[in-house]
A and B are shown apart, each in its own frame.
Chain A
Amino acid sequence: MSELKTIEKVLFGVTGELHQIFEGSLEFYKANPDVSFKVRPAYGYNKFYLDWVGFSYDMSLKALIHFILYEKKYYKKILSKKTYGSLKKSIEENQSKKYCISDKLEHDVVTMIEKNAINYMKCCFESNNMDVSSFVECNYDSRSNVPNISKCNVIQNRIVHFKNFINELRIYTNKNTISKSDLKNLMDLSKNLEGIDYFLDLLELVYKQCAITSKEIIEIALSKSLKNSDLSRLVNFVNNKLKDDYLADRILRSIKQ
């Protein structure tokens, strides 16, 4: 069974790829809402419709996700050798055929990635004021948890496209004050963050608006098993930006000798 961190990385990879494909053709389809969102992204049979969700598998968004998982070798990371081998054989025999994973846990992992990636695509359509009825009809209707800050980069309390999320947050904080509820949202989101770079990027934007929330986010970061070098970077941030000697000292003491 894959670790949560691996699954998240795969999900980020898939959504990042979908985002690029979506952006590549967005301009035309935004201007032509009567047309199905057809893309030719050089995956699988090279013809997919991003708004085909649910009814038919062939050429659908789900099929595209499946090919991204296969061709970017993400399946290798989340499936057992046995399942991967059998899936590879099935694709080689007939790439249009939908492969059903028999192992329940592996099936659930792939379904979770599919579901989140489809929800992400739905949020992308929605944030561009495009028709999302096909998504809603098939119950892909998760909304962004932080509607004021990010329109499409957060799904089910996870940031799925961090770079875009931080950019949107930067633009938002340049003009607005983050509300109490959004600060709480940001704190909740940080619980699902992995990696000091992400924490520092987030803290850089939050500390200017609320020192208390940034300290709470630092506590969350400290609850993750950080390396000494990560802790040192956190100390630098606390010293230079928050000017909190007590907190800096506490972090310093947690550095393993």
Chain B
Amino acid sequence: MFSDLLDIDIVREKRISIINSFDDQLYPALVNTEIIQSTNRCTLKQKKIKTISIKKVQKKDFLTLIKTLNYFEKIGFVHGDLNKKNIINTEDGFRIIDYEPSILQISNGLKQYMVTKPYISKLDLLENSITIRTDKIGFFYFVLRVYKLINFKDLVALSKTFNHKKWLKLNENQLKYTSYSDLLDLALDKLK
């Protein structure tokens, strides 16, 4: 039935069951576990949530988000597409949306990771897998974008090279062992 989702059934079902178990207080819950076939990808639908503009953000505003991401890391769950369009601001703080049933899908006729350029770890690209490194890179650039520390031209340049060295002074291997709180501090250092 889901020939365009490239995970084996058991992996996909496990992923959906994990997403479905998320606490509604922290994540907009899924409407149901049905996979929606749209023209260019297969998705899961989350409940409606009211967004507000991201204006004056303080360090503490990231705490709920970091708590969520720490939980993901603890259970070994990878979102795979963390970016400014998938983390929305609500009255209760930042919420993550758009969890795909499979990170690797056939999209527009091509086998593709459901990751948005350039928010992907170069090492993951080379190793042909999506790991926590990509989520951490996504989070790091999310913080930079919230504070307007990176501009559109730089993002376009990044999408071509995936060379994160200019922004992230860390070896990508080290990323795996760097906590989200430390990444937040590294991003905020650029404000100084």
Chains A and B form a bound pair:
yes
Question: A55 near B152 (CB under 8 angstroms)?
Answer: no
Residue contact B53 to A56, C-beta cutoff 8 Å: yes
Q: At the interface, yes or no: B59 with Cβ under 8 Å from chain A?
A: no
Asked if B51 is at the interface (CB within 8 A of a chain A CB), the reply is: yes
The total of chain B residues at the interface (CB under 8 A) is 22
A36 to B51, CA, bound (A): 11
By the criterion CB–CB under 8 Å, are A55 and B38 in contact? no
Closest to B43 in A: A38
User: Do B52 and A56 touch across chains, with their CB atoms under 8 A apart?
Assistant: yes
Could you tell me the distance in whole angstroms from the C-beta of B55 to the nearest C-beta in chain A?
A: 10
Count of A interface residues, CB-CB < 8 Å: 21
- Inter-chain contact B47/A34, CB cutoff 8 Å: yes
Contact of B51 among A47, A56, A95 (CB under 8 A): A56
Contact with B along A154-173 (1 / 0, CB 8 A): 00000000000000000000
Residues of B within 8 A of A45 (CB): 85
Question: B53 contacts A55, CB within 8 Å?
Answer: yes
User: Judging by beta carbons under 8 Å apart, are A36 and B48 in contact?
Assistant: yes
A181 at the interface (CB under 8 A from B): no
**Is B153 part of the binding interface, using a Cβ–Cβ cutoff of 8 Å?**
yes
Q: B46: which A residues are within 8 A, CB to CB?
A: 35
Question: Does B122 have its Cβ within 8 Å of any Cβ on chain A?
Answer: no
Min CB–CB distance B108 → chain A (angstroms) = 11
- CA of A59 to CA of B52, assembled, Å: 12
B47 proximity list for chain A (CB < 8 A)? 34-35
| In contact, B31 and A32 (Cβ under 8 angstroms) | yes
The residue on A at minimum CB distance from B55 is: A56
Q: B171 within 8 Å of A by Cβ? A: no
Instruction: Known A32-B45, A93-B153; judge A56-B40 contact (CB<8 A).
Output: no
Cα distance A47–B51 in the bound complex, in angstroms = 15
Assuming A93-B152, A94-B151, is B48 touching A57 (CB within 8 A)?
no
Q: Which single residue of chain A is at the shortest CB-CB distance from B145?
A: A96
Complex formed: what's the CA distance from A57 to B89 in Å?
12
CA distance A28 to B43 in the complex (A): 13
Contact of B40 among A32, A40, A58, A96 (CB under 8 A): A40
Using Cβ atoms and an 8 Å threshold, which residues of chain B touch A74? Answer: none
Is the CB of A52 closer than 8 A to any CB of chain B? Answer: yes
Report Cα–Cα, A117/B28, bound state, in Å.
29
Interface residues in B38-68 (C-beta closer than 8 Å to A): 38-40, 45-54
Which of A51, A59, A93 interacts with B85 by CB under 8 Å? A59
Nearest B residue to A42 via CB reads B40
Residues of A close to B53: CB separation below 8 A: 55-57
Smallest CB separation, B187 vs chain A (Å): 18
CB-CB under 8 A from B39, the residues of chain A are: 40
Query: Which residues of A sit under 8 angstroms from B85, Cβ to Cβ?
Result: 45, 47, 58-59
Cβ of B84 within 8 Å of any chain A Cβ, yes or no, is: yes
Closest Cβ–Cβ distance, residue B127 to chain A (whole Å): 27
Near B by CB (< 8 A), chain A positions 116-146 give 134
CA distance A95 to B52 in the complex (A): 19
Within 8 A of A (CB), among B65-112: 84-85, 88-89
Asked if A36 contacts B49 (CB within 8 A), the reply is: yes
| Chain A residues within an 8 Å CB radius of B18 | none
With A40-B38, A40-B40, A47-B85 already in contact, the answer to whether A55 and B48 are too (CB < 8 A) is no
Which residues of B have CB within 8 Å of A94? 151-152
Chain A 25-39: CB-based contact to B (< 8 A → 1; otherwise 0): 000100010111000
Q: Does B35 contact A (CB under 8 A)?
A: no
**Contact check: which of A55, A57, A93 meets B151 at CB < 8 Å?**
A93
Q: Report B149 CB to chain A, min CB distance, Å.
A: 13
Lowest 6 A-B CB distances belong to which pairs?
A94-B152, A56-B51, A56-B53, A35-B45, A36-B48, A55-B52
Q: 11 A-B pairs, CB-CB below 8 angstroms?
A: A28-B36, A34-B47, A36-B48, A36-B49, A51-B48, A56-B51, A56-B54, A95-B152, A96-B84, A96-B152, A134-B50
